[in-house]
Amino acid sequence: MSAALDELRAALVAAFRAGLTELDPARLVERALDAEAGAHRGRVFVIAAGKAAPGMAQGALRRWGDRIAGGLVVTVAAPALAARDETTSLADPEEAALRPLRVMRAAHPIPDARSVDAAEAALAVAAALGPEDLLIALLSGGASALLAAPPPGVSLADKQAVVAELLEAGAPIQDVNLVRRHLSRIKGGRLAAAAAPARVLTLLMSDVVGGLPHDVGSGPTVPDPTRVEQALAALDRWAPRFARLAPAFSESLKPADARRLEARVLADPDKLAERVAAALADRAGLRATAAPAEDGDARAIVERRLALARTLAPGEAVVIPCEPTLALPAHRGAGGRAGWIALAALRGLPPDVALLCAASDGVDGSSGAAGAAVARAAAAAMDDRTIDAALARFDDAVVHRALGTRVETGPTGHNLTDLHIVARDFPGGARVR
């Protein structure tokens, strides 16, 4: 690969990182709570859940640390700790920084027994609140799996199986969360209902393309306009063999019953795209624009990325927040949807175009990376049959490792869905800045 394309790929990765830094969860929560100063005189409790939960909780503690009486932080267990039973597994310095909040970790994307323990702990915090209290709910992507409270008649194994089937069938996240909201004792506003008569303020880092507050973490503290019939229709479409669970579905909290509740979205996929586009313009001199968020089948998205790549002018870039769906077989290799799309598009890119596909949480499936940043020249290092076989086996991670195209950020403390950047280099690879 040419030095110019290497530089362009590096610029895309740097802009991706810069955009995430601009939307620091702690800083966003701290600013949001500035507007609440003096608005509440009673006790304050915090329940934070999701991949951004530690950062969001730190922001609340910075702003209102002297007023927060207690609460809970639930975030994702590190892979090395996935088989352990402990719920308090953050490093000691981080746990100390989050006191007086209790720290718990659970599994993602399939809930485990720790997810049930965390949900029960959250419900217990809510149930102890009184009419003068305030519950600050800090929710981000991943909260659906981290707080699992199956309704009567549904076992944890049932919940795990239905969620796994929905995800592997390629169901859109809105449909997955639609089913989750109506098959739960905590989602769909039920945590807020447990907190009555306390006031509930929900601050959200949204990971759902075009999503509303009830889509984020399956909406445990916000009203939900959807109905059981809609959830059952989604179940019938994506996981029909679980029709036996239909009697356990129940209605969620409706807007008419939500007078004590307020919700604000602090960041979403569109805001991330705007920040990354600004970083590309500032740091690389590219004429970068943020496109509307999109979702859909990964194969169709590959074709859209290639069509866009062919239309770009020199020095132009487009940033697209994206929630692809990809139906997966039972037996597959190591990879993720971002890396798979990058590999599928690799050979069709124009020679002076680079493509970044990355998960904003830094975890692209089972790949061990955030995604990949590719250019067509990278394909010269590997024969077509090897690439085709990796795509067929959903084993893109090994190819990106061999080609040196992996984007490795480690867990970012975010979850604002995937981000794609398509950029055409300047003539001759000349950098403007």
Please write the tens of the pLDDT for every residue from 254-305: 988 778 999 999 999 999 999 999 999 998 999 999 999 998 999 999 999 9
What's at 79, amino acid-wise?
Answer: P
Domain chopping of the chain, boundaries: 3-20+270-429, 36-267
Q: Is the pLDDT of residue 396 over 60?
A: yes
Distances (CA, A) of 148 to 46, 208, 246, 315, 405: 18, 19, 18, 47, 36
Q: Is the pLDDT of residue 318 over 60?
A: yes
Distances (CA, A) of 5 to 98, 147, 201, 376, 419: 43, 43, 47, 10, 20
If you average pLDDT over residues 214-225, what whole number do you get?
A: 96
Q: For residue 28, what are the β-bridge partners?
A: none
Among 254, 272, 260, smallest CA distance to 189 is for 254
Please state, in angstroms and rounded to a whole number, the distance separating the CA atoms of residues 121 and 141. Answer: 19
How confident is residue 433, by pLDDT bands cut at 50, 70 and 90? very low
β-bridge pairing 134-140 and 101-106: unpaired
Please state, in angstroms and rounded to a whole number, the distance separating the CA atoms of residues 389 and 385. Answer: 6
CATH H superfamily, domain 36-267: Glycerate kinase, MOFRL-like N-terminal domain (3.40.50.10180)
The answer to whether 149 and 123 have CB atoms below 8 angstroms apart is yes
CATH number of 3-20+270-429: 3.40.1480.10
Run of H or E including 131:
none
Q: Which residues contact residue 290 at a Cβ distance below 8 angstroms, ignoring those fewer than 6 apart? A: 270, 273, 274, 276, 277, 318, 319, 320
Q: Is the pLDDT of residue 202 over 50?
A: yes
If you average pLDDT over residues 95-106, what whole number do you get?
A: 90
Q: Please tell me the pTM assigned to this model.
A: 0.89
The confidence score (pLDDT) of residue 123 equals: 98
Identical topology for domains 3-20+270-429 and 36-267: no
Cα(first)–Cα(last) distance of the chain, in Å?
A: 21
Tokens linked to 13: 């990765």
Q: Is the pLDDT of residue 355 over 50?
A: yes
Please state, in angstroms and rounded to a whole number, the distance separating the CA atoms of residues 80 and 315. Answer: 42
167-184 pLDDT, tens digit each = 989 899 999 999 999 999
Length in residues, the chain? 433
Q: Is the pLDDT of residue 237 over 90?
A: yes
Please state, in angstroms and rounded to a whole number, the distance separating the CA atoms of residues 339 and 374. Answer: 10
DSSP label at residue 287? E
The confidence score (pLDDT) of residue 249 equals: 98
DSSP label at residue 264? E
Q: Is the pLDDT of residue 432 over 80?
A: no
Please state, in angstroms and rounded to a whole number, the distance separating the CA atoms of residues 127 and 118. Answer: 14
